[in-house]
Structure 1
Amino acid sequence: MDRSTRKLDHIRHALETTDQPFNSFDEVSFVPNSLPNIGYHDVSLATDLGSFRLASPIIINAMTGGAEATTEINRKLAIIAREKHLAMAVGSQMAALRDPGVADSYRIVRKEHPNGIVFANVGAEATVEQAQAAVDMLDADGLQIHLNVMQELLMPEGDRDFRGYIENIQAMKESLDVPVMVKEVGFGMAKETIEKLNHIGISIIDVGGVGGTNFAKVENRRSQKPLAMYENWGLTTVESLLEAESFSQSKSQANVAIMATGGVRHGLDVLKALVLGASATGIAGEMLRLVQTSSLEDCLTAVDEWHHELKVGMTALGVTRIADCPRIPVFVCGKAAYQARLRGIDLEILAQRVFDRATDS
């Protein structure tokens, strides 16, 4: 099967598998603050993700490209990013690196979003030359390197050999002139992986947890011999954020910015991710659904609503800056809490945080 057909299959099946029976963000809740002593209009949504200064913690995350039909999807996404001042990542550009004829399905993003932050995207199997070509294709501000081992193993035509990934990532990081982010595609990330990446100098990591688009289900739908037992593989986004927090607590000198992707449904989920240590959140599946089913005007309104929902929560907690969110007390319960304790992660520290804006800010 050619890559263009595969890309269209991924979009179709992704839209069919968006409903998840469980979302780990529902296991997270807050200690209420009845005296926040701030106003809604005091809240700023600006945030730092590594060296990037973002106007919003919401990023349109990697989705698609590589087929003529995906050009219009990326055009709409880029317009949303431009109008709402969001950073945006394209889907894997490996298709265009092998077939330059589909490069315009990616270039449309820079055309429509000429002054915004745009991330190029390649797999960890890419060479330095391919990574540079992907960046040049978009005049990109940064590069995402995606990890998708389980998806490849379930993909009928997927890779089966993952040797050399860490060396490839290090070579790309050391050779490119733009910041490099490593991201999971939806199976979550353990603290051991975060430590390995940080050890080779990767300072921006998207933990990409279970809860959003389920690429195990997507590939099983494409396979004549599906392996359904692997459709619940991995760590949820909340579990992955706890892993990242545990890494940060154990490595006082660690310099890593975390992005949270996977199952983010609304502004409250964004807030929960920020309080659990993320500097930004990626939304992919919900964005794809919006641009495929709604008018552009409705898509823009949806982003406004997400920002409003986030600001409501920040106001209620007495937080005016994203940077202060990781100081807010938070409860983690259920399966995420059970697994965290098995992994030696101290959740009481999170629940007993103290943040008093009057004395701390």
Structure 2
Amino acid sequence: MIADRKDDHVRHAVQHRRDHVGSNDFDAVGFVHHALAGIDAADVSLAVDMAGKRWATPLYVNAMTGGSVNTGEINRQLAVAARETGIPIASGSMSAYFRDPAVAGTYRVLRQENPDGFVMANVNANATLDQALRGIELLEADALQIHLNTVQEVVMPEGDRAFSAWPRQIEHLVAHVPVPVIVKEVGFGLSRQTVTWLREAGVAVADVGGRGGTNFARIENDRRAAADFAFIEHWGQSTPGCLLDCAGLTGIGIAASGGIRSPLDIARALALGANATGVAGVFLNTLVSNGTEALIETITTWLEQLRNILTVLGARTPADLAGTDLLITGEVATFCALRGIDVASLAHRSSWWRESNFREGVIHE
């Protein structure tokens, strides 16, 4: 039954991606263009520090799947793409492996095909310490990713209905696993209060996982015989809203996933305060529709386009995007007003024009 559910998730995720491609809250985030802010592309580095390691890029393949023959092949191809492009990758939830060790290979393939890459083992917040350690050992994982999915669980016909132990279990795992812990939402967002709690619990990275991408409430509702949970499909905060809500928090890394459709969305997320960005839906659709080589080409193109965006904005590193001028409009601005977040100041935060007075340039005669 678990294998069937994993295959159902992939099928519905791909179909929803095809049916619901369009606008999301990232479209409410715009850059103020300064025509003389540009720098040389050769001076741009995409490297970032995340989860105790230096990543070559601020982009990673986020948790997707595993647990069946079909999803094992998807994981193999995702691992090849991650290896060839040098980006980190997370496994899908390893719950199927904990219940049936026979499916270990559908997850282990992530390390077999990507022996030197940064790999994250994904578990749910009910996972025991023994299970977490088994997952880390199987993947020789560089980090443990714990997913939070209360909304998905309550819509899932066979899902959990008890969540009160999650905070204590997260604290327990953080204290005892030998790798950094990343906690992510699966598409409904992390509030500032939640991220603050995660920081105090010792979590290394919070992936805000906001609304706007793969919608697991819709996926699980499609699996219900009566499809009677449609009213909850728009639950939660969008990724831009979450990032703005968490602005200024220190002592914890911030990752952004949920609704990232392009290199521009990556740049927007980084400018809103993310240290790195995770993508699942777009990459899965590309892989299923066009194959591994197409996914490798897509990731390679995205990274080059991201470098070009940083070049235009005068950002030598992804972190420098946090000093660019942003215009926040629409529902995101409304959300910020209700949460007491000052977005007007974001439109006036850049210092490129002051720095340019001291920049050593080359004059061509």
State the TM-score, normalizing by the size of structure 1.
0.95
Structure 2 residue aligned with 1:242: 244
Which sits farther off after the overlay, 114-123 or 346-355?
346-355
- Aligned match of 2:266: 270
Asked if the contact 1:33/1:318 (under 8 Å) is kept, the reply is no
Shift of residue 196, structure 1, vs aligned partner: 1.2
Identity of aligned residues (%): 43
Whether the 8 Å CA contact 1:186–1:262 is kept in 2: the answer is yes
SS state of the match for residue 181, structure 1? strand
Report whether the alignment pairs 1:348 with 2:344.
Answer: yes
> Shift in Å at residue 37 of structure 1?
4.6
Quote how far apart the aligned CAs of 1:256 are: 1.1
| CA deviation profile, 1:188-208 (whole Å, cap 9, x unmatched) | 111111111111111300000
Distance between the aligned counterparts of 2:344 and 2:252, measured in 1?
23
* SS of aligned partner of 2:255: strand
Give the aligned residue type for 1:231: E
Q: Could you tell me how far 1:52 is from its partner in structure 2? A: 2.1
> How far off its partner does 1:296 sit?
2.0
Give, in whole Å, the separation in 2 of the partners of 1:257 and 1:161: 28
* 1:12 has 2:8 as partner: no
In structure 2, C-alpha distance between the alignment counterparts of 1:360 and 1:130, rounded to whole Å? 55
Alpha-carbon displacement from aligned partner over 1:76-131 (angstroms, at most 9, x marks no partner): 10001000000000000011011001110000000000001000010001111111
Cα deviations by residue, 1:17-38 (Å, 9 ceiling, x for unpaired): 1124431110000111211251
- Cα shift at 1:360: 9.3
Aligned partner of 1:284 in structure 2 is: 280
CA contact (8 A) 1:20 1:211 kept: no
Distance in 2 of aligned mates of 1:174 and 1:6 = 32
Q: Is the Cα–Cα contact under 8 Å of residues 38 and 313 in structure 2 kept in the other structure? A: no
Secondary structure in 2 matching 1:17: helix
- CA distance in structure 1 between the aligned counterparts of 2:195 and 2:277, rounded to whole angstroms: 17
2-structure distance, mates of 1:31, 1:228:
38
Listed one character per residue, the Cα deviations across residues 165-219 of structure 1 (whole Å, up to 9, x for unaligned) are 0110010000011000000000111111111111111130000011110101100
Aligned residue number for residue 214 of structure 2: 213
Give the equivalent residue in structure 1 for 2:143. 142
Corresponding position of 1:251: none
Matched, 1:232 2:231: no
Q: 1:183 matched to which residue of 2?
A: 184
Q: Which one-letter code corresponds to 1:26 in the other structure? A: D
For the Cα contact (< 8 Å) 1:4–1:66, is it kept in 2?
A: yes
Question: How do 1:1-80 residues align onto structure 2 when only pairs under 5 Å count?
Answer: 2-18=1-17, 19-80=20-81
- Asked if structure 2 preserves the Cα contact closer than 8 Å seen for 1:57 and 1:280, the reply is yes
User: Aligned-pair distance for 1:355?
Assistant: 2.6
1:83-98 equivalence runs, <5 A: 83-98=84-99
Report the equivalent of 1:316: 312
Note the C-alpha offset of 1:359: 7.1
How much does 1:163 deviate?
1.2
Q: Which residue does 1:195 correspond to in 2?
A: 196
Aligned length: 354
Q: Distance in 2 between matches of 1:306 and 1:276?
A: 19
Cα contact 1:50–1:256 (8 A) shared by 2: no
CA distance in 2, matches of 1:301, 1:32: 28
Q: Which of the numbers 332, 336, 341 marks the counterpart of 1:336?
A: 332
Shift of 1:323: 1.9
Structure-2 separation of matches of 1:360 and 1:268: 29
TM-aligned CA deviation for residue 313 of structure 1: 1.2
Question: What SS does the corresponding residue of 1:212 show, helix, strand or coil?
Answer: coil
Please tell me whether the aligned partners of residues 120 and 144 of structure 1 are also in contact (alpha carbons under 8 angstroms): yes
Cα distance between partner residues in 2 of 1:203 and 1:337: 29
Q: Which residue of 1 aligns with 2:83?
A: 82
8 Å CA contact retained: 1:43, 1:320: yes
Amino acid at match of 2:2: R
User: How far apart, CA to CA, are the structure 1 residues paired with 2:21 and 2:211?
Assistant: 10
Flag structure 2 segments of 5+ consecutive residues without an equivalent: 360-365
Change (3 A) 1:336 1:111: same
Structure 1 residues 21 and 295, CA gap change in structure 2 (3 angstroms) = closer
In the alignment, residue 240 of structure 1 is paired with which amino acid?
C
> How far does residue 49 in structure 1 lie from its aligned partner after superposition?
1.7
Q: Does structure 1 conserve the Cα–Cα contact (< 8 Å) formed by 2:78 and 2:292?
A: no
Describe the SS at the equivalent of 1:210: coil
Deviation at 1:260?
Answer: 0.4
Q: SS at 1:245's partner residue?
A: coil
Partner of 2:92, secondary structure, is coil
What is the TM-score of this pair, normalised by structure 2? 0.94
How far off its partner does 1:41 sit? 2.1
